[in-house]
């Protein structure tokens, strides 16, 4: 019957894109070895790191790297970070390792920092999207490093979320976004930092430039190098347009379905504003212990008011949670911008599509 065979063909096409299943792996030795095999053979594996979960493939295999872009629905002009498991692996991947970059590596690697460096010819264009620099990261997570060792190759890995959604900080988040689209997920528990790595441009002999704030702050970088420039797209409350140093800055990011508005004020003014503007489907996103002081308003809390580390750990899972709860609109307490607070501010102002009210 022509109709039936047409339908069958359609299903077959869908099958080619949707894998039958995604293997759920533990961080035990056998499972890590299995993850390594899959990666060696050109597959995609979501891996835990101390920042967020990454969606990894062999960084030296352009075809495997292209599959990352497909699985995430990632814009083709947003380059990937290459992960290594020991410092000596960097030699083949970069054409130069400037002094400033070396000093930063000494101070902060292994850890939540990506260095943008001049790339060597071995890095495929699929990784860098045609740029002449490459982001290199040496993660602190032991599980991530064991997987890189098992694969025997450097791993290209963006965050393991559907493009535009909040980054995943536990295996369940990856499962929600990627099940059926990738070969395996290694469950290594919750990420200890919770926001993506600090990205630093250190490809020449000039001052380092902060391209994306993370667990390592501009102040910490300046402490090592004497100074640290901050890319204007981090602090401007405008969506980046035109040429940007870090292509990721211009894309829609971290956006939950709910419409978020940041409220910059002290708690009393925030409470007053939220209580006056409350409507069905609206919720508050506030700091720990504040929710119960709001009168009968549904709330989500994202860490302690003066503790940026706890805010980093919670912010993405709260953004995912408020979507699961079906919230339409959110009034969020605005984080500070100094030190590690800037990482949280940067994620939330983008999640809010730059909507901010100052009271
Ligand atoms: O913590 C992290 O960095 C996580 C984990 C998995 O390591 N990875 C991650 O990757 O957040 P991704 O792809 O979501 O973010 C990488 C950021 C993007 O904003 C991208 O534009 C920027 O780094 N980037 C990568 N290569 C670059 C380059 N050569 N020059 C400038 N920016 C670059
Ligand atoms: Mg990302």
- The answer to whether residues 145 and 29 touch, using CB atoms and an 8 Å cutoff, is no
Domains, the chain, ordered by start: 14-235 (3.90.870.10), 259-358 (3.40.50.11030)
Measure 326 CA to ligand 2 centroid, in angstroms. Answer: 23
Atom of ligand 1 nearest to the CA of 135: 26
Atom of ligand 1 nearest to the CA of 249: 19
Of 27, 45, 36, whose CA–CA distance to 142 is shortest? 27
Give the pLDDT confidence of 308-334 residue by residue, as tens digits: 999 999 999 999 999 999 999 999 999
| pLDDT band (50, 70, 90) for residue 16 | very low
Q: What is the mean pLDDT of residues 37-45?
A: 98
Measure 9 CA to ligand 1 centroid, in angstroms. Answer: 38
| pLDDT band (50, 70, 90) for residue 252 | low
Give the pLDDT confidence of 188-237 residue by residue, as tens digits: 999 999 999 999 999 999 999 999 999 999 999 999 999 999 998 887 76
Cα 189 to Cα 63, 103, 192: the distances in Å are 29, 31, 9
CB contact set of 216 (below 8 Å; sequence gap of 6+): 108, 111, 112, 113, 197, 198
Measure 145 CA to ligand 1 centroid, in angstroms. Answer: 18
Sign of CA dihedral 94, 79, 228, 161: negative
- Ligand 1, CB cutoff 6 Å, lining residues: 49, 51-52, 54, 78-81, 114, 116, 128, 131, 133-135, 137, 157-159, 196-197, 199, 211-212, 245-248
Sign of CA dihedral 164, 165, 171, 177: negative
Atom of ligand 1 nearest to the CA of 56: 6
How much of the chain exceeds pLDDT 70, in percent?
A: 92
And the tokens for 46?
């979501």
Ligand nearest to the CA of 195: 1
Ligand nearest to the CA of 167: 2
Atom of ligand 1 nearest to the CA of 196: 1
Measure 164 CA to ligand 2 centroid, in angstroms. Answer: 8
Of 202, 262, 209, 197, whose CA–CA distance to 234 is shortest? 209
pLDDT of the residue at 12 = 35
Residue in this structure with the two tokens 């991530």, named with its chain if needed: 144
pLDDT of the residue at 255 = 79
Task: Give me the chain's average pLDDT, please.
Answer: 92
Q: Residue with the nearest Cα to atom 29 of ligand 1? A: 134
Ligand nearest to the CA of 53: 1
Q: Residue with the nearest Cα to atom 13 of ligand 1? A: 158
Of 280, 314, 322, whose CA–CA distance to 297 is shortest? 280
């Amino acid at each position: 019957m022509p109709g039936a065979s047409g339908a069958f063909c359609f299903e077959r096409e869908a099958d080619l894109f949707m894998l039958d299943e995604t293997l759920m792996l533990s961080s035990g030795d056998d499972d890590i070895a299995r993850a390594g095999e899959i990666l060696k053979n050109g597959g995609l594996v979501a891996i835990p790191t101390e920042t967020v979960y990454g969606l990894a493939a062999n960084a030296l295999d352009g075809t495997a790297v292209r599959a990352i872009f497909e699985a995430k629905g990632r814009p083709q002009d947003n380059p990937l970070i290459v992960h290594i498991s020991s410092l000596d692996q960097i030699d083949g991947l970069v054409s130069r390792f400037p002094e400033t970059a070396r000093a930063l590596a000494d101070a902060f690697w292994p850890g939540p920092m990506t260095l943008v460096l001049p790339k060597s010819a071995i890095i495929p264009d699929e990784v860098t999207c045609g740029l002449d620099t490459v982001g290199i990261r040496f993660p602190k997570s032991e599980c991530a490093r064991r997987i890189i060792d098992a694969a025997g190759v450097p791993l290209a890995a963006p965050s393991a979320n559907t493009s535009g959604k909040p980054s995943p900080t536990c295996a369940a988040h990856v499962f929600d976004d990627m099940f059926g689209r990738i070969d395996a997920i290694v469950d290594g528990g919750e990420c200890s930092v919770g926001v993506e790595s600090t990205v630093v441009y250190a490809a020449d002999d000039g001052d380092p430039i902060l391209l994306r704030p993370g667990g390592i702050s501009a102040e910490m970088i300046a402490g090592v190098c004497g100074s640290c420039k901050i890319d204007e797209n981090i602090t401007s409350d405008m969506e980046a347009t035109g040429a940007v140093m870090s292509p990721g800055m211009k894309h829609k990011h971290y956006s939950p379905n709910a419409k978020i508005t940041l409220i910059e004020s002290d708690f009393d003014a925030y409470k007053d504003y939220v209580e006056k503007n409350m409507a069905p489907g609206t919720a508050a996103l506030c700091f720990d212990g504040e929710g119960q002081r709001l009168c009968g308003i549904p709330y989500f809390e994202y860490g302690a008011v003066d503790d940026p580390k706890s805010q980093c750990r919670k912010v993405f899972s709260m953004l995912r949670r408020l979507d699961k709860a079906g919230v339409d609109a959110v009034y969020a307490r605005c984080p500070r911008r100094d030190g590690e607070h800037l990482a949280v501010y940067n994620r939330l102002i983008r999640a809010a599509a730059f909507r901010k009210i100052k009271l």
